[in-house]
């Protein structure tokens, strides 16, 4: 099946060739004043084979977005993928891949010790009824258990 080139890097990635879990530098944007934004593809689940259930993913998003800022002040955004297989992490002026892996490991270690989901209420969250702390912790534990695989994006 032929595929047309798009304006979205992740749409042009051959999802049949990647092997989750992994952490991949997906894009770099350079600003007019010299700033650089690094976008990472943090893939938890194998595309088109498995996905994260929405309440667990939602809680993991809240926990990760909160806890990652304990380990770096370079975070612009952490966003879940619509396909429910991972997240995008955008960092400003931080191009050290090994340090990104360290930041993620420290963050997910914190997530595994969480006793509640931050901002899990109707004032701070747009769908506060859709959370699962235990599911989020399980996802973080599974991802951490395969940490040595994070740098491997494509099947050999």
The residue extents of the domains of the chain are 15-149
Residues 19, 43: Cα–Cα separation, whole Å: 9
pLDDT higher than 60, residue 92: yes
pLDDT of 39 = 97
Strand, coil or helix: what is 101?
helix
Residue 51 among known ligand-binding residues: no
pTM of the model: 0.94
Residue 21, token pair as written in the block: 């879990």
pLDDT of 9 = 81
**38 HSE (CA, 13 A, CB side):** 16
For 8-58, how does the pLDDT look when each residue is reduced to its tens digit (9 = 90+)? 788 878 899 999 999 999 999 999 999 999 999 999 999 999 999 999 999
Q: If we measure between CA atoms, which residue out of 87, 108, 104, 107 comes closest to residue 96?
A: 104
Name the CATH code of domain 15-149 (choices 3.30.1360.80, 3.30.1490.270, 3.40.190.10, 3.40.50.300).
3.30.1360.80
Residue 131 among known ligand-binding residues: no
Residue 83 among known ligand-binding residues: no
pLDDT of 44 = 98
The answer to whether 60 touches 130, Cβ cutoff 8 Å, is no
What is the pLDDT averaged over residues 142-149? 98
């Amino acid at each position: 099946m032929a595929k047309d080139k798009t304006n979205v890097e992740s749409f042009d990635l051959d999802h049949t060739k990647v092997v989750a879990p992994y952490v991949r530098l997906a894009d770099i944007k350079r600003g007019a004043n010299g700033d650089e934004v690094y976008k990472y593809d943090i893939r938890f689940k194998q595309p088109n084979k498995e996905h994260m259930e929405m309440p667990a993913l939602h809680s993991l998003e809240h926990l990760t977005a909160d806890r990652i800022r304990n380990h770096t002040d370079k975070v612009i955004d952490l966003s879940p993928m619509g396909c429910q297989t991972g997240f995008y992490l955008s960092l400003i002026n931080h191009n050290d891949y090994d340090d990104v892996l360290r930041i993620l490991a420290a963050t997910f270690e914190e997530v595994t010790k969480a006793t509640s989901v931050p901002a899990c209420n109707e004032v701070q969250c747009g769908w506060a009824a859709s959370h699962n702390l235990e599911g989020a912790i399980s996802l973080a534990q599974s991802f951490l258990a395969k940490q040595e695989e994070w740098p491997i994006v494509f099947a050999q």
